[in-house]
Amino acid sequence: VPHSLHQEVYCAAIKAGKVSMDLVDQEPSQRRRFMPSTEIDLVQSYSRAKSSGEMRVPNLDIVLDNFSRRFTTSLTNVLQRTFAVDREEISTTNFQQSLLDLKSQGAVGIYAMSPLKHGCLFHFDTLLSFTLLEIMLGSSQSSESLALDRNLTTIEMAILRTCMHDICQDLQAAMRPVIELQVNLSKVENNFRLVNIVEPETEVLVTRFNIQLAGEKCGQMRLIIPYLTLEPLREKFKALVTIAQA
């Protein structure tokens, strides 16, 4: 591992629980004792962290956890139901594969993130889309959400736009410790062949969010953002730890 990456490698090992941060107090008169240890493959730790996306943009997880809390509040307040948004790990792939993984289901919101280039995508899967539609169209609280096996209509996507628009303010607020952004929802699309914010082979970071309604899973949301969008902010993301500790 290159010397310049040592600190990030050790951080990845600590996050994975491979390195203990506990301190052992000893009296001078005590006999020296050694704590049990296991061998750490730093190259493998670095490779796993890099493929997971955590080391591509350090501390991005902190910002996305902040976003999760804010979007939880927005959904709960707007729809008057008890929602919970939980982030999963950040992974990396190319843009084309990230769209193929969506399996042409649900709806994608295309967002501009001025002054950053390329923007990002938020995807609502089919189950989440129809759950939100049922609530916004006045379904009773006892009705069960169903993932219907059909594409969303133009009218349904227009209704979903309300929830997707709330993402703008929540993402802006979550990113504010790093950069002041103006996030705008440009379009809602269900034909993913028309979604083209970067070249097919461009590296993207993909984050999944599990959405729960009253303690029951009601779908999944996915954030797709090009690495090129966040790469200029890498040093500012690194500084988040220093800010938090100050």
End-to-end Cα distance, the chain:
30
Helix (H) or strand (E) holding 72: helix 60-79
pLDDT in tens, 135-163: 998 875 444 556 577 889 999 999 999 99
| pLDDT recorded at residue 52 | 56
| pLDDT recorded at residue 149 | 77
| pLDDT recorded at residue 39 | 58
Burial tier of 47 (Cβ tally within 10 Å: 0-12, 13-18, 19+)? middle
Task: Give dist(CA 115, CA 183) in Å, integer.
Answer: 9
| pLDDT recorded at residue 45 | 45
Percent with pLDDT over 90 in the chain: 64
List the structure tokens of 213: 């309604």
| pLDDT recorded at residue 3 | 47
Q: What is the three-class DSSP state of 29?
A: coil
List the structure tokens of 135: 């609530």
Q: Can you give the pTM of this predicted structure?
A: 0.77
Helix (H) or strand (E) holding 133: helix 126-136
| pLDDT recorded at residue 17 | 56
| pLDDT recorded at residue 120 | 97
In contact, 127 and 220? CB cutoff 8 Å: yes
